[in-house]
Amino acid sequence: GAAYDSGERHPPPKCHPDTRTGILSRITQFISNPQKHRICLLSGMAGSGKSSIAYTIAERCKEQQRLAASFFFSRGKAGRSNADRLI
């Protein structure tokens, strides 16, 4: 259930077309130029759309055959509520 395309989250939390274009563009630029920075931190209040943005980026990377891995945390889900299984 941690993969971006897991059937556990249906419908998936992705951005509506033509929304959040600024942040999606900045993250896309980060992915295209990884030498400058190695970590991209997406933060914000609960319900602000972080999962939607992350899902949309993962989907775009998959379409471009650039997705190496994905892991979506989920509060209250065994094995997905902390980093123990990620690291």
Place of tokens 């993250």: 27
Residue 62 covered by a domain: yes
Residue 4 or 67, more confident: 67
Question: Are 62 and 5 a contacting pair, CB within 8 Å?
Answer: yes
Q: Which amino acid is at 72?
A: F
**pLDDT tens-digit readout, 2-49:** 666 676 767 777 888 888 999 999 999 998 887 777 888 899 998 899
pLDDT for 74 = 77
Structural domain boundaries, residue 52? 2-72
Q: In terms of DSSP H, where are the helices of the chain?
A: 21-32, 50-63
Residue 86 covered by a domain: no
pLDDT for 16 = 82
pLDDT (average), residues 47-56: 90
Residue 78 covered by a domain: no
- DSSP 8-state code for residue 83: G
Residue 63 covered by a domain: yes
Residue 81 covered by a domain: no
- DSSP 8-state code for residue 76: T
Residue 51 covered by a domain: yes
pTM of the full structure: 0.80
Residue 38 covered by a domain: yes
